[in-house]
Amino acid sequence: MSRFKSLSTGTFILILFSLSPSCYPADKCSVCIIKSRNLAPYEYVSQKVLESLQECEESIESRVFDMEGDPEKGKQIVQEIEQAPPDIVLSIGSESTLFLAENVDDIPIIFTMVYKYDKINQALSLKKNFRGVFVNLEMEEPFQILKRIYPELRKLGVMYIPQYFEDQITDFEEAAKKSGIEIMAIEIKEEADIPKAIRDFSPQIDALYLLSNPLFTKKEVIKRIILGTLQSKVFVVGESLEVVKKGGLLGLGFEINHVIQSTSEMIKDYYRVKDIEKLHNRKCEGFNLYINERTSKNLGISIPEDLKKTARKIIP
């Protein structure tokens, strides 16, 4: 007689259930999400990662915090999660990741939406409880595209806020040199600095590159920058679709759905192995190209047809 025939129906079903694949253990799982700021991309990643986890296991207990770019707020969040530690923390953005690296040692942390630069590398290099997803474009590629679109490009202004990208400016300069482009770094500390910076630098540059940061996600700020530069026939390149919608010539943004997928997979992998040190950092290098055709026509700049075919979106 078969061994299974001697089992009751209930026991047989229980065995099948125990052998069925599952992303997580049977116990309820707790995830704490900490966003650097209340920005649309961070919120989107937060929602989509949670949806992905809930598809795999309904018993997910989640808490979501917004650090608001404020270290004092960060301290309050750390105190709260230390009182009731989650299984794992998901840190979204460079600010919260850098803060947590300096203040948390004993809770597993997965980070995402983080640009890889010297300050972050140094902070994470000795942290055994951190693994995550870096979002990086290949440094040379944006400059190669810009040169194809505008071969006369010689001087490129790069507008940035020191607390986000000061360490990356040198990398930009080295990568741009390979395409025969000179970088003029334009440091902005607050919104009030922008009009003067545009007046001072527009006569000296051929194009302006906006490095992503919370200030350059504000629609009114983007519009003010683009209107100011167009008067000098300087075109604007950004790292988001919003810049292109407001009149920027090009947008070169990372593939956010790839980031979401990689982040979700890392969290699921953690629950399988229960050891953050067994995970490996991931890097998302794919990017989306956005083009504003009206701006290209107004400036007399011709976009190669093969680039148009690879564009994620073209604004007519």
pLDDT tier at 89, thresholds 50, 70, 90: very high
1-15, 54-68, 103-117, 118-132, range with the lowest pLDDT: 1-15
In 3D space, the residue among 265, 214, 289, 312 whose CA is nearest the CA of residue 48 turns out to be 265
Alpha-carbon separation of residue 61 from 28, 29, 89, 112, 136 (angstroms): 7, 6, 12, 20, 31
Q: Which amino acid is at 122?
A: Q
> In the prediction, which pLDDT does 152 show?
94
- Quick check: helix, strand or coil at residue 184? strand
- Give the pLDDT band (50/70/90) at residue 7: very low
Distance CA 240, CA 55 (A): 29
pLDDT band at 167 (very low <50, low <70, confident <90, very high): low
Query: Where in the chain are the domains?
Result: 27-135+256-285, 140-254+288-315
**Are the folds of 27-135+256-285 and 140-254+288-315 the same?**
yes
The residue with greater pLDDT, 170 or 313, is 313
Q: Which fold has domain 140-254+288-315?
A: Rossmann fold (3.40.50)
Burial classification of residue 129, based on how many CB atoms lie within 10 Å of its CB (0-12 exposed, 13-18 middle, 19 or more buried):
middle
What average pLDDT does the structure give for the chain?
85
Range 21-37 average pLDDT: 74
How far does Cα 225 stand from its chain's mean position?
22
Q: Give the per-residue pLDDT at 2.
A: 37
Proportion of the chain above pLDDT 90, given as a percent: 59
What is the rounded average pLDDT of the residues 249-270? Answer: 90
Averaged pLDDT, 255-281: 92
Using DSSP's 3-state secondary structure scheme, residue 187 falls into strand
Q: What is the DSSP string of 188-211?
A: -SSGGGHHHHHHHHGGG-SEEEE-
Whether the pLDDT of residue 15 is over 60: the answer is no
* Sequential DSSP letters for 37-89: S--HHHHHHHHHHHHHHHHH-S-EEEEEEE-TT-HHHHHHHHHHHHHS--SEE
Give the chain's length: 316
What distances in angstroms separate CA 99 from CA 45, 68, 105, 179, one per listed residue? Answer: 19, 12, 12, 36
CATH class, domain 27-135+256-285, is alpha beta
Residue 266's pLDDT band, with cuts at 50, 70 and 90, is very high
pLDDT over threshold 70, residue 16? no
Mean pLDDT over 25-37 rounds to 81
β-bridge mates for residue 182, sequence order: 155
**CA proximity to 211, closest of 149, 249, 157, 288:** 157
20 or 221: which leads in pLDDT? 221
Residue 129: pLDDT band by 50, 70, 90 thresholds? very high
- pLDDT at residue number 230: 80
**What confidence tier does 239 reach under pLDDT thresholds 50, 70, 90?**
confident
Residue 308 has pLDDT above 90, yes or no: yes
Specify the higher pLDDT residue, 171 or 280. Answer: 280
Q: What is the mean pLDDT of residues 119-124?
A: 78
Give the whole-angstrom CA distance, residue 268 versus residue 220.
39
Please give the helix or strand (H or E) that residue 144 lies within, else none.
Answer: helix 140-149
Confidence of residue 38 (pLDDT cuts 50, 70, 90): confident
Residue range 204-217: average pLDDT?
A: 86
Angle between helices 40-56 and 256-273 (to 10 degrees): 40
